[in-house]
Structure 1
Amino acid sequence: MKMRKGKKFVLSLILVMALVLGLLGCSKESEKTITNLDENNSVVEVHEKQEEKGNIDELMDREEEKEEGEEKTAEEEKATEEEKEIESNSKEQRDTEKEETDTKKEEKNTKEISGEASKGEKDKKNNVTVIDGVEYTNYKGPVQGEIKYVEGRPAEQDSDRRKASGDIGSPYQVDLRVTTDFGHSKIYAKNVGMVKDEVGMEVLFRNLDIQTAYGGGFVNAINGIESKFTFFTGSQRKKEDWFYWVNGILAPIGVAEYRPEPGDVIWWDFHDWETTMFIPAVIGSYPQPFKSGFFGNNPGTVILYTGDYKNEAEQLKASLEKQGVKKVDIAVYDAKLLENPAKYYIVLGVWEELVKESTITNSRGKEINLLEETNDKNKFIGVYAKFEEGKLHALDHRGNKKTSHTQAGTIYGYAAGIGATKPIWIVAGTDDKGFKITFETLLNQPEKLKDAFGIVVSEKGVEKIPYI
């Protein structure tokens, strides 16, 4: 019994000790756990603080960066603002300068425009027209093709109502002449203005009362003197019309196509053409054509002489050069040069001597005497002087003898054929004395040739031929 009690006591003691040990173990474990927690907490706190510090550092760094950025941005913004301000000021300055420049330009343009306007007003006031840089005064524009009279109605019925538009002021001039009856009656003579490159019809319309026909290219009437052929019929119809020469050469084209050159002599004559309408050369525009040529072309002049007249040829050459003729040569007379002339020729000599040296074989193989042929044809080729049996006869437009001289000379022009534009002038006398008085007229009294188709010179004076 006592054994059982002892065993129970031991077992109880073991249980108590186990319980104590268990409690002690639990206490240590709890302390350890707490310690671990503290450490964990401490670690956690440290990590959290470190992490928090890291975040703060980062935030601070970022803030610093932000502040730096803000400072930088502020500086940049400040710089930008300063730049903007400078740029703004520069822009304002540029704008101001531009405005000032524009203002100056506007003022300049205004002045220029004002000046041009003033000039325009002045031009308008003074009737100045500028064409290709050339100033013309009182120019009213082209009138080419205008019909100034009613076709078919007598020109004299309209001439009082339809007047010329008036001459113009121009640096370019032409000598415009109008005559009737082979130059015996003068209607008009004046140096008038022309526009460069215009046609001759324009010159006529401005200065004369013109009636045209056949579409506007034919001059039918001048200052009321009308063709007796165009609009007339039956017994009233006559062969009387207007013809014109440029520098003494019959124009091969209409005046609506011809373009004058400055210095040209434009000569219109109204006359009977019953015997011939072919008068290829006239002497009344001297020193033309030798000075200016024809239609802008001047082939040059050659003075041909016979016998002892070389000295006269040299004198005439010097006289022509003094009058502005640039290309002049002299040579011994050669009739072959006259068949198809390449230049303008002036032939000097006594008629009989010239005839002796004028026999040639022409281009058709026929032997002819050039001057005898010209003398025989006379009125049909516009020659109104005839040498015959030692005398010189002055003819009318029908070839009738009007005066005769035993000692005289003549000056006339003719051409090699219809449409030829290189005339041949003959200065010839019945004898030496007849030649010399004629030559002296040409050399020292050239005004005696003005408006003449040809002349006969004798001791009685100068006769214009043909007679009417």
Structure 2
Amino acid sequence: MSRQSSFRLPRPARGPAAALMAATLTTALALAGCGAGDSPSGAQLLVTQDFGARPVADLAQPKVGASATVLSLLEGNLKVIVAGGRVRSVNGIAAGGGSGWYPFVNGVGAKKGLLTQDVRGRDRVWWDRHPFAAATRIQAVVGSFPAPFVAGVKDGKKLPVRVECQPSDIPACQTVQDAMTAAGVFAAKGGLQQSFTKETLRIVVGPYVQIRDDETVKTLEDGPRVSGVFARPAADARSIAILDAAGRTTRTLGPGDGLIAATRLDDGQPVWIVTGVDAAGVKAAASALDEGNLRGHFAFAVVDGRAVGVPEVRATP
């Protein structure tokens, strides 16, 4: 059986008051990134197996000294064996047999020097043990939302956020912007720019057939080995296959079903994708853009109103 659950629909604020609240909170968060805000004492640590499907440890207030790195935070809170510059075991759960321990900071992984990267106050550090046969590089995940947007993607540096929608008037576009406001993030909104940038965090929203020309979005069609996302849109964009850890199709998203995923092109910033095969599916995905829904998922699908973790992982008998 796959990991499924019902999900809650967020109720974000709207209107000028919401915009003022977002601006005020954004300013406060920016100030928190200076001085005492750089202390790692506010960091969080999540440790899981099998793409987030099996929890190992979830520490909202992990033990941390005056400074910490991605690796030392793990070593200071769990029993860890490191050899050859790699984590070989966590709490007795060993790497090997085609699986390894991989870190993500604020939803971003596969970066050189990540193990020694400093941890800052609002960072969310996530270690997961999973097989690497179908995807050797998983560069971005959605399960640390809203950390990439409020804590930055490296060294506490926050980047501008832009919600890019195609078509520009699709209702899900406003739903996504409202969700960002509820998370304390000011996000500009506009049409699809189809641009490669290192200075903006982009959230691309729309039916897949409408957004597939975006260079980063289109990597989904090449499967997890290229995109790091265990979902592959069909060539005609009329369906999206959801895959298991081996890259095999477990189900197919059709009308009304949605997908939230994140990926990264080369050294660009992670791009979040809120999509489906039709407007109803995009709306379902947009309505699920919430910390409680996404937590611990590499990617996230909404199928017949139910949450499905992506990749799908069979439950232990």
Residue 212 of structure 1 is matched in structure 2 by 82
Alpha-carbon distance in structure 1 between the residues aligned to 2:217 and 2:183:
29
Query: Where do 1:260-299 residues align within 5 Å?
Result: 260-294=119-153, 295-299=155-159
- How far does residue 341 in structure 1 lie from its aligned partner after superposition? 4.2
The secondary structure found in structure 2 opposite 1:266 is strand
Residue 323 of structure 1 is matched in structure 2 by 183
Contact 1:246–1:266 at 8 Å: present in 2 too?
A: yes
In structure 2, what residue type is equivalent to 1:313? C
Query: Where do 1:82-93 residues align within 5 Å?
Result: none
- How far does residue 309 in structure 1 lie from its aligned partner after superposition? 3.5
Query: Where do 1:300-339 residues align within 5 Å?
Result: 300-309=160-169, 312-325=172-185, 327-335=186-194, 337=195, 339=196
Indicate yes or no: 2:312 matched with 1:467: yes
Q: Would the alpha carbon gap of residues 380 and 372 (structure 1) be closer, same or farther in structure 2, given more than 3 Å must change? A: closer
Contact 1:402–1:467 at 8 Å: present in 2 too?
A: yes
Alpha-carbon distance in structure 2 between the residues aligned to 1:256 and 1:345:
26
Residue 423 of structure 1 is matched in structure 2 by 270
* TM-score, with length taken from structure 2: 0.78
Say which structure, 1 or 2, has more relative contact order (CA 8 Å, 6+ apart): 2
- How far does residue 308 in structure 1 lie from its aligned partner after superposition? 4.9
Percentage of identical aligned residues:
24
Contact 1:378–1:399 at 8 Å: present in 2 too?
A: yes
Larger radius of gyration: 1
The secondary structure found in structure 2 opposite 1:249 is coil
The secondary structure found in structure 2 opposite 1:402 is strand
Contact 1:249–1:421 at 8 Å: present in 2 too?
A: no
Contact 1:385–1:456 at 8 Å: present in 2 too?
A: no
Contact 1:341–1:416 at 8 Å: present in 2 too?
A: no
Indicate yes or no: 2:303 matched with 1:435: no
- How far does residue 350 in structure 1 lie from its aligned partner after superposition? 1.0
The secondary structure found in structure 2 opposite 1:434 is helix
In structure 1, what residue type is equivalent to 2:173? A
Residue 6 of structure 1 is matched in structure 2 by none
Residue correspondences, number: 271
Contact 1:212–1:219 at 8 Å: present in 2 too?
A: yes
- How far does residue 259 in structure 1 lie from its aligned partner after superposition? 0.9
Alpha-carbon distance in structure 1 between the residues aligned to 2:115 and 2:167:
46
Indicate yes or no: 2:218 matched with 1:393: no
Indicate yes or no: 2:117 matched with 1:258: yes
Residues 239-289 of structure 1 deviation map (CA, whole Å, 9 limit, x = unaligned): 211000000000524565211010111000001112222000000000120
Alpha-carbon distance in structure 2 between the residues aligned to 1:261 and 1:212:
23
The unaligned stretches of length 5 or more in structure 2 are: 1-35
Q: Would the alpha carbon gap of residues 416 and 372 (structure 1) be closer, same or farther in structure 2, given more than 3 Å must change? A: closer
Residue 22 of structure 2 is matched in structure 1 by none
- How far does residue 317 in structure 1 lie from its aligned partner after superposition? 2.9
Alpha-carbon distance in structure 1 between the residues aligned to 2:239 and 2:51:
24
Residue 90 of structure 2 is matched in structure 1 by 222
Alpha-carbon distance in structure 1 between the residues aligned to 2:68 and 2:56:
24
**Cα RMSD for the two superposed structures:** 2.3
Alpha-carbon distance in structure 1 between the residues aligned to 2:128 and 2:80:
14
Q: Would the alpha carbon gap of residues 219 and 334 (structure 1) be closer, same or farther in structure 2, given more than 3 Å must change? A: same
Indicate yes or no: 2:33 matched with 1:186: no
Alpha-carbon distance in structure 2 between the residues aligned to 1:189 and 1:436:
30
In structure 2, what residue type is equivalent to 1:414? T
Residue 412 of structure 1 is matched in structure 2 by 261
- How far does residue 291 in structure 1 lie from its aligned partner after superposition? 1.0
- How far does residue 386 in structure 1 lie from its aligned partner after superposition? 2.0
In structure 2, what residue type is equivalent to 1:274? A
Q: Would the alpha carbon gap of residues 421 and 292 (structure 1) be closer, same or farther in structure 2, given more than 3 Å must change? A: farther
Alpha-carbon distance in structure 2 between the residues aligned to 1:302 and 1:198:
31
In structure 1, what residue type is equivalent to 2:241? H
Query: Where do 1:114-133 residues align within 5 Å?
Result: none
In structure 2, what residue type is equivalent to 1:302? R
Query: Where do 1:444-463 residues align within 5 Å?
Result: 445-463=290-308
Q: Would the alpha carbon gap of residues 260 and 433 (structure 1) be closer, same or farther in structure 2, given more than 3 Å must change? A: same
Contact 1:174–1:193 at 8 Å: present in 2 too?
A: no
* TM-score, with length taken from structure 1: 0.54
Alpha-carbon distance in structure 2 between the residues aligned to 1:353 and 1:297:
31
Indicate yes or no: 2:55 matched with 1:173: no
When structure 1 is superposed on structure 2, of 238-247 and 382-391 the one drifting more is 382-391
Contact 1:303–1:313 at 8 Å: present in 2 too?
A: yes
Contact 1:292–1:298 at 8 Å: present in 2 too?
A: yes
In structure 2, what residue type is equivalent to 1:391? S
In structure 2, what residue type is equivalent to 1:177? L
In structure 2, what residue type is equivalent to 1:384? F
Q: Residue 384 of structure 1: which of 204, 208, 230 is its match?
A: 230
Alpha-carbon distance in structure 2 between the residues aligned to 1:297 and 1:199:
16
Contact 1:250–1:421 at 8 Å: present in 2 too?
A: no
- How far does residue 348 in structure 1 lie from its aligned partner after superposition? 0.6
Contact 1:409–1:437 at 8 Å: present in 2 too?
A: yes
Structure with more of its chain in helix, by fraction:
1
Residues 193-229 of structure 1 deviation map (CA, whole Å, 9 limit, x = unaligned): 4333332333222210011112xx432110001121x
Alpha-carbon distance in structure 1 between the residues aligned to 2:246 and 2:305:
24
Residue 208 of structure 2 is matched in structure 1 by 351
